[in-house]
Amino acid sequence: MPARASDLPPRAMPEEVGMSSQRLALIGAAVNAEIAHGQLPGAVLAIARRGKLVYFESFGDRDKAAGAPMTGDAIFNIASMTKPMVAVGALQLYEQGKLLMDEPLAKYFPKFADMRVAVMDARKESIVETVPAARKITIQDLFRHTSGLIYGGRGTTAVHKLYPEGSSQAAAAMTGPEFIDHLSSRPLLYQPGTVWDYGFGLDVLGLVIEQLTEQSLGDYLQQNVWKPLGMTDTGFLIPPGSAARYARALPTDPLTGSPQSMTPLTQKTKFECGGGCAASTASDYLRFALMLMNKGKYGDARILGPKTVEYMLSNQLGPEVKNLIVNGDPTRADYGFGLGLAVRTTPGIVRLMGSVGDFSWPGASGTNWWADPHEELAVVWMAHSPGPIRWKYRQMINALVYQAIVD
């Protein structure tokens, strides 16, 4: 049976699951200091360990200008935290034999059949020529960002300038068919399968899901992922009755002074972009994280089989793939990548504490989450801090959570 919205893990004292109440209190002191210094509007943080909820706190303001305090049920743009959910939806179709990893994308969208790859001048300021792709873009390439369909906003080359800035910008400007036409008419930055670089793979995979299921991406995920997990506030559109719970970013970036805002997702985009257009809450996303950490099951809801989750959370980048994950998020530099999310392959080197096998993928809006199966730990951080300061909070919250583990 589906999980209910109220079905969060039972609360426990931190000491019952090997964490320190005194050390967890350092989180509030650090976050409130950031808010007091005008660096952050507010945030919600949820921490679960060994199947128990040990920390669920709200900080600061949901809407600073209106004087509205942050609440635990505040709704946030989760941006690229949409991607792992789309990956799960596609893996359900993979389990049913409807989708294969090595299938060419052109099976679903024939315009991708004869893609070409750009050859640029030494300064990468102009495209000298294009050459045929050595192989087709595959479904696996979409999952793992090796398609060559890159985000325009993540670089300055002549090829980047031909692509939309990112998922939400594409969805605001184009319908799904227009988006496919646009991407398929652009040269690729890399030969398919050779380089991990951040791009539109999960957006295109979302449109593959729509074609296979004859449903909108949102309807499919609602029926097969969100509703079974009790994720009642997750979707591609915030309904009018929930709009008052939407959290606002600071009007200016605290580091650069530039104006900033988040699209409140109360109006439909032209297509439901699987790369970054969903909204959610801390408690909803915690269910999703715990489902993956529990090998595809949360409560009585089985979303994926255990071996499918194991495959999803395994590094998919072989030695032949150049890993530019730093282009996606500098705090995930030196991670490997599974299907739709980053996976840690080494105990050191990376900029974050954790364990080999931990997995995550954050959002450009400032939101973040990770799960560490070795420590039986799942963490969701919801904050609207879309500028470069978000990378500070990813490292800061990571350290504050792990220092509170005492067993």
Quick: pLDDT tens for 31-80: 999 999 999 999 999 999 999 999 999 999 999 999 999 999 999 999 99
Quick: pLDDT tens for 128-176: 999 999 999 999 999 999 999 999 999 999 999 999 999 999 999 999 9
Average pLDDT, the chain: 96
SS3 of the chain: CCCCCCCCCCECCHHHHCECHHHHHHHHHHHHHHHHCCCCCEEEEEEEECCEEEEEEEEEEEECCCCEECCCCCEEECHHHHHHHHHHHHHHHHHCCCCCCCCEHHHCCHHHCCCEEEEECCCCCCEEEEEECCCCCEHHHHHHCCCCCECHHHCCCCCHHHCCCCHHHHHHHCCHHHHHHHHHCCCECCCCCCEECCECHHHHHHHHHHHHHCCCHHHHHHHHHHHHHCCCCCECCCCHHHHHHECCCCCECCCCCCECCCCCCCCCCCCCCCCCCCEECHHHHHHHHHHHHCCCEECCEECCCHHHHHHHCCCCCCCCCEECHHHCCHHHCCCEECCCCEECCCCCCCCCCCCCCCEECCCCCCCEEEEEHHHCEEEEEECCCCCCHHHHHHHHHHHHHHCCECC
As a whole number, mean pLDDT of residues 340-354 equals 96
As a whole number, mean pLDDT of residues 94-105 equals 98
pLDDT for position 261 = 85
As a whole number, mean pLDDT of residues 321-336 equals 96
Q: Residue 245: which pLDDT band, with cuts at 50, 70 and 90?
A: very high
pLDDT for position 367 = 98
Tell whether the model's pLDDT for residue 16 goes beyond 80.
Answer: yes
Q: Residue 2: which pLDDT band, with cuts at 50, 70 and 90?
A: low
